[in-house]
Amino acid sequence: MIPLVAVAHGSRDPRSAATVRALVRRIAAPGLDVRVSFLDLSAPLVTDVLRDLVRAGHREAVVVPLLLGSAFHARVDLPALVAEVPELRVTIADVLGADLEGVAFDRLAAVADVSDPGLGVVLAAVGSSRPAANEAVAALARRWQSRHGFRAVAAFASAAKPDVPAAIAKLRARGARRIAVASWFLAPGLLPDRIAEQARAADPSVVLAGPLADDPRVAELVLARYTTALAAARRSA
């Protein structure tokens, strides 16, 4: 089978890489060679993994980005890194994105009463310089609000507004009596920690949902992205 190379962003926080490695270990299909890699800050880098595949005699690979948004890393960084290994025919799968909405909502429901009309939810994400990526998170928050009846707004750890304190203030102004922070992060790390610190400083009673990667549905989605990308590559060959 064509190898699956899962690529995460990477982090200076070792918890992040450990979580990604655990996720990749859960991706299983008979005979499938699954490898973990990172764009930056953690090892092995995706370019090193692709070169290892070339040395092992592989001619093709499917790279699945372990990313929640189609922002700079997915649209620019990853294709540029893949292009550094021209000896390998690489198909890049879609990001994980909104297909993990159910996982994020279930994490929220594990810490907050989502039927509470007084609930205000901050959907916290990393933030991007690309407005469309931020709008995708904001649209998810609006969808939750429409479907479930609680107040919900997006907030970002960097590169975009509002930040978490501003989002909490907005929810309070709209009548929210209890605040929960939902996670749009795969793994723990420095930015999720920043989100948590800001949320607790703004409201000591806030409850915080956990990141998503250890839910079995994430590994299933990675495998589904691989299968879809591989089929597309076969059609175009």
The whole-number pLDDT of residue 170 equals: 98
Does residue 79 share a domain with residue 28? yes
pLDDT-based confidence at 235, cuts 50/70/90?
confident
Q: 86 lies in which domain range?
A: 4-97+214-236
- pLDDT by residue (tens digit) across 86-97? 999 999 999 999
Helix (H/G/I), strand (E/B), else coil: 207 = strand
Same domain, 163 and 125: yes
Closest CA to 45 of 36, 56, 37, 53: 37
161 CB burial (10 A radius; 0-12, 13-18, 19+): exposed
Residues 74, 90, single domain; the answer is yes
Q: For 138-167, what is each residue's pLDDT tens digit?
A: 999 999 999 999 999 999 999 899 999 999
- List residues bridging with 179 in a β-sheet: 120
Whether the predicted pLDDT of 101 surpasses 90: yes
Residues 45 and 87 in one domain: yes
pLDDT computed for residue 146 by the predictor? 96
- d(Cα 173, Cα 74) in Å, to the nearest integer? 36
User: Could you give the number of structural domains in the chain?
Assistant: 2
pLDDT single digits (tens) 27-44: 989 999 999 999 999 999
Per-residue pLDDT band for 234 (boundaries 50, 70, 90) equals confident
This prediction's pTM: 0.96
The CATH number covering residue 73 comes to 3.40.50.1400
- Percent of the chain at pLDDT > 90 equals 95
> How confident is the model at residue 237, as a pLDDT?
67
The mean predicted confidence, pLDDT, of the chain is 96
